[in-house]
Amino acid sequence: MIRMSPACAMLGIGFLGITAFMGCATPAVVFVSPNYNAQQIKRVSVSGFNDAPGQPGSGSMVADVFEKYLFNLHYEIVDPTQTQVDAVISGSVSELTDTSEQTVMVDIPQEETEPVYQEVAVQGRRGGIRMVTEQTGSQTVMTDQSVPETETLPARVGLSVRMVSAKGGELLWSGSGSADGMDISSAADAAASKVIDALQKRLANPKPSTSN
């Protein structure tokens, strides 16, 4: 079991907790070659993605999702069997987990009333003064009570992808990232969209190539 504070527990408990984890996946990381020329890359094929470890079929599923987002980069997507292509895209699924549940211990604040004691001087039977401890009041204190709660963890998909020139095999761009979702399908969509968005921004502001 995992112990959580009340604030963290409120983010993760139950079905609504999935949305709270949407930002927990890694941001997209992209690289674009200084030699990338958008005017020379028009026809692109997707050769396929490698499966996630122990997840047969995950590569083709994520590749299909990623392919539809490639249209945002204004490529003409052609069948991999076509020979007249400018570049080839391949990739792999680095992470793929479905939604799951786990039990966490949540500290819930509780009010408790405690007696307050104080030493007071009283007259003894034989005329002497002695000190005794008496309850003089009460006070309210806050304590944490640990209770078990069920936390729903989101699905997560991570991917890495690269484009190489069909002529010379030069790496033109690469990207990687992961995202969470209500299920594997929505997580794959979010991961593909995240990487494509990052590539789109990077391609819109290319760094000029340098020459010696």
User: Tokens 């944490």 correspond to what residue?
Assistant: 144
pLDDT tens profile 21-61: 444 567 899 999 999 998 999 999 999 899 999 999 999 99
Top pLDDT among 209 and 73 is at 73
Confidence class for position 128, pLDDT limits 50, 70, 90: confident
| Structure-token pair, residue 143 | 């304590």
Nearest-angstrom CA–CA distance, 174 and 181: 23
- Identify the pLDDT of residue 52: 94
Please determine, for residue 81, whether its predicted confidence score (pLDDT) is greater than 90. Answer: no
Mean pLDDT of 115-128: 79
Top pLDDT among 102 and 36 is at 36
Mean pLDDT of 96-113: 85
Lowest model confidence (mean pLDDT) among 132-146, 166-180, 193-207: 132-146
Nearest-angstrom CA–CA distance, 180 and 26: 10
Mean pLDDT of 192-200: 95
Asked whether the beta carbons of 172 and 209 are under 8 A apart, the reply is no
pTM over 0.75: no
- Identify the pLDDT of residue 93: 97
Strand 171-181 and strand 129-153: pairing?
A: unpaired
Lowest model confidence (mean pLDDT) among 83-97, 144-158, 178-192: 144-158
Mean pLDDT of 154-168: 94
Nearest-angstrom CA–CA distance, 134 and 136: 6
Q: What is the mean pLDDT of the chain?
A: 83
Percent of the chain whose predicted confidence (pLDDT) is above 70: 85
* 76 residue type, one letter: E
DSSP codes of every residue in 111-138 = EEEEEEEEEEEEE-TTS-EEEEEEEEEE
DSSP letter assigned to residue 168: T
User: What is the torsion angle, in degrees rounded to the nearest 10, for the CA atoms of residue 130, residue 131, residue 133 and residue 139?
Assistant: 140
